[in-house]
């Protein structure tokens, strides 16, 4: 999910001995083969505003391995600028995370149709720089539509969107939103668990539709490692890594208040990442804590704190 759009809408010890006998460069290469997923930077989720070019520079200097694309900015680039961006990504060995879906499909038909009209243009621009992933979130409640009516609406609109994306070799990841507090905020509840999301994906029945997996929603939906281990790695488009707030039960967690991974230890971050590693997931993993303290920091300390939290979490493997 995109940080701004959500806010607007809601207003291993056994290897130690062996490692000592292996040259450091070979040992580092071995460790990289243990983890295929990429440490990604999503600056807007931590209150940092960076242009696409700035994001590449910051990510490469701090040690991030992937970055989120900015669809509107990429769409405004000339072909020469797009080629420059693609070249820099390759030079710094960075890969692309998922772009936020630029279509508002949760509101009325006029707004939805307006978003569809520009989707081809944006997708073409994203393809020019090598982006192959998009993601968006599913609102787990509705003021007037029952579950069945809302489900049918989502199936129709998502099909229309992914049928455009497939022409540009772009996959769309859908994120279920797990907190019970948000599900109860409007009259009719909707999708808030992995199994329900898989039912929606199955009904849409398009090969370029998958999942945006979030440790916070996984926790709030009371899911386990086994739920992730049952997934095909290619079904996962992108991942968010977050921790939960202290002093709140699972049922009391709020979608817009979270912590950096490992900050509280409430969520089993190690188990979550171990499951991703076991199934061979090789896509991006980024932090999305929606944290007021982090948002108020200056850019550099916020970025460094986020990288440190993510790196420590990855080092648990």
d(CA 55, CA 77): 16
Helix (H, G, I), strand (E, B), or coil: what is residue 229? helix
Q: Which residues contact 1 (CB under 8 A, 6 or more apart)?
A: 100, 135, 136, 137, 175, 177, 212, 214, 240, 288
- Encode pLDDT of 208-262 as tens digits: 999 999 999 999 999 999 999 999 999 999 999 999 999 999 999 999 999 999 9
d(CA 91, CA 94): 8
d(CA 306, CA 287): 7
* Residue whose tokens read 């769309």: 172
Residue 12 has pLDDT above 60, yes or no: no
- Single pTM value for the model: 0.89
- Give 245's DSSP letter: P
Residue 200 has pLDDT above 50, yes or no: yes
User: Which residue ranges form the domains of the chain, and what is each CATH number?
Assistant: 37-314 (3.20.20.150)
Sign of CA dihedral 274, 276, 279, 283: negative
- Encode pLDDT of 137-165 as tens digits: 999 999 999 999 999 999 999 999 999 99
d(CA 189, CA 186): 7
Q: What is the pLDDT of residue 20?
A: 38
């Amino acid at each position: 999910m995109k940080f701004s759009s959500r806010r607007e809408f809601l207003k291993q010890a056994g290897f130690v001995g062996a490692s000592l006998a292996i040259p450091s460069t070979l040992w580092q290469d071995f460790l990289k083969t243990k983890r295929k997923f990429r440490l990604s930077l999503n600056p807007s989720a931590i209150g940092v505003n960076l242009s696409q070019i700035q994001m590449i520079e910051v990510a490469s200097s701090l040690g991030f391995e992937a970055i989120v694309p900015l669809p509107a900015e990429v769409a405004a680039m000339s072909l020469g600028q797009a080629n420059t961006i693609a070249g820099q990504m390759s030079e710094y060995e960075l890969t692309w995370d998922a772009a936020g879906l630029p279509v508002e499909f949760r509101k009325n038909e006029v707004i939805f149709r307006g978003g569809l009209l520009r989707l081809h243009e944006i997708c073409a621009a994203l393809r020019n720089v090598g982006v192959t992933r998009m993601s968006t979130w599913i609102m787990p409640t509705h003021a007037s539509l029952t579950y069945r009516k809302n489900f049918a609406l989502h199936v129709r609109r998502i099909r229309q969107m992914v049928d455009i994306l497939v022409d540009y070799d772009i996959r769309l990841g859908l994120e279920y939103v797990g907190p019970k507090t948000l599900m109860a905020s409007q009259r009719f509840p909707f999708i808030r668990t992995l199994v329900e999301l898989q039912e929606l994906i199955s009904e849409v029945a398009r090969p370029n539709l998958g999942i945006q997996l979030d440790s916070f929603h996984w926790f709030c939906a009371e899911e386990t490692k086994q739920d992730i281990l049952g997934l095909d790695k290619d079904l996962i488009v992108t991942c968010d890594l977050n921790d939960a707030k202290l002093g709140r039960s699972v049922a009391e967690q709020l979608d817009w208040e979270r912590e950096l991974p490992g900050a509280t230890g409430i969520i089993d971050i190690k188990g979550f990442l171990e499951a991703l590693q076991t199934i061979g997931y090789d896509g991006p993993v980024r932090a999305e804590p929606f944290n007021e303290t982090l948002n108020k920091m200056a850019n550099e300390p916020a970025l460094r704190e986020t990288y440190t939290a993510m790196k420590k979490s990855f080092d648990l493997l």
